[in-house]
Chains A and B, each alone.
Chain A
Amino acid sequence: MKLSSFTDPRFVDLSLEGADKVSVISSLCRLMAESRSVSDGDALLRDVLAREELVTTGVGHGVAFPHAKSEAVARVTFAFGRTAEGVDFGALDGEPVRLVFLIGAPKQLEPSRVYLNLMARLSFLMKNEENRERLLNVGSANEVMQLIDSVA
């Protein structure tokens, strides 16, 4: 199953605005709230920030995977945003983040295998430096879709 089936070109923002972690995540939550998958962007934002408080999802190399299970989410969905300037996510390597994948899943999703494996596959994709470079340079949402579908 293609990773792109969990997102939509409309959920891609290659000029993500926001000077800090909260505003960047908030922008992506609002983007997803324009779909049927997410009923309440503010509720999703609260749940994602609560997860961020436990441990940052800024995993290094300028990439972050903010995520949460939330009552506001109807199906496993993700959005992708790229910032022009790096944002402080309190990342493990201290580096600013430019590539942000926001992943939401229904609160009562059991088993949560779809959600967990989606996050792992996105993480594998971004482990590769070449893929990170490509995402930093793509010019359209469709190119993002093609890249994310290249992962096994």
Chain B
Amino acid sequence: MKVRDYMSRDVVSVGRATNMAEIVDVLNKREISGVPVVDGDEKLLGVVTHEELMGIFIPHYFSMFDDLAFLDDLETIEAQTMSEIEPTLFLAEDLMVAEPTTVKPDTSIMKAAALLLNRRLILLPVVDEDGRVVGVLNRGDVSRAFTGSRPGETT
């Protein structure tokens, strides 16, 4: 089983100057969890997912605590929402995880699955020899591969 057989070829990508509001719009409209960031030649620069977008708003020190039960008054922090930030302050350039893990179309699904799990990735950009994005593989695609259904098939 190869990545090319299960990846999504209908890839939506954004440029480095795309702002956070535009990225959220793309993710919501396409019902996807992350998006590749590409340059003018469609070469991969990075990936932005909901995780980076959430990172804007969730205080970084929360990551130090396993148990957040003692935090009972979060209204002040919750008031700090996207509507309070000028969207152009956060561009794909600022948000993206640069030089992300990628796979090739002929990478095995087993290897791609291991990368997704071991590195806790939401998606894997699929790139050609020149670094251009030709597809995206997500966890759902891997599940479909292992359960025997092709994209678009319903059971």
Among A20-28, A32-40, A56-64, A80-88, which stretch is in contact with chain B?
Answer: A56-64
- Kindly identify, within residues 115 to 152 of chain A, every residue whose CB is under 8 Å from any CB belonging to chain B: 116-121, 123-124, 127, 152
Cα-based distance from A92 to B95 in the complex (angstroms): 20
The verdict on A116 contacting B52 (CB below 8 Å), with A1-B61, A54-B93 known, is yes
Most buried by B among A51, A54, A69: A54
B56 touches A92 (CB 8 A): no
In the complex, the answer to whether B60 meets A124 with C-beta atoms within 8 Å is: no
Residues of A within 8 A of B19 (CB): 55
Main secondary structure of the interface of B (DSSP, over half): helix
CB neighbours of B56 from chain A (8 A): 116-117, 119-120
The answer to whether B58 has its CB under 8 Å from any CB of chain A is yes
Q: How far is the CA of A57 from the CA of B17 in the complex (A)?
A: 12
A120 with B17: CB separation less than 8 A: no
Pick 28 A–B contacts, CB within 8 A, sort by A: A54-B16, A54-B17, A54-B93, A55-B91, A56-B88, A57-B88, A59-B88, A65-B89, A67-B94, A92-B88, A111-B55, A111-B97, A112-B55, A112-B94, A112-B95, A113-B52, A113-B60, A116-B90, A116-B94, A117-B57, A117-B59, A120-B56, A123-B84, A123-B85, A123-B89, A127-B85, A152-B76, A152-B80
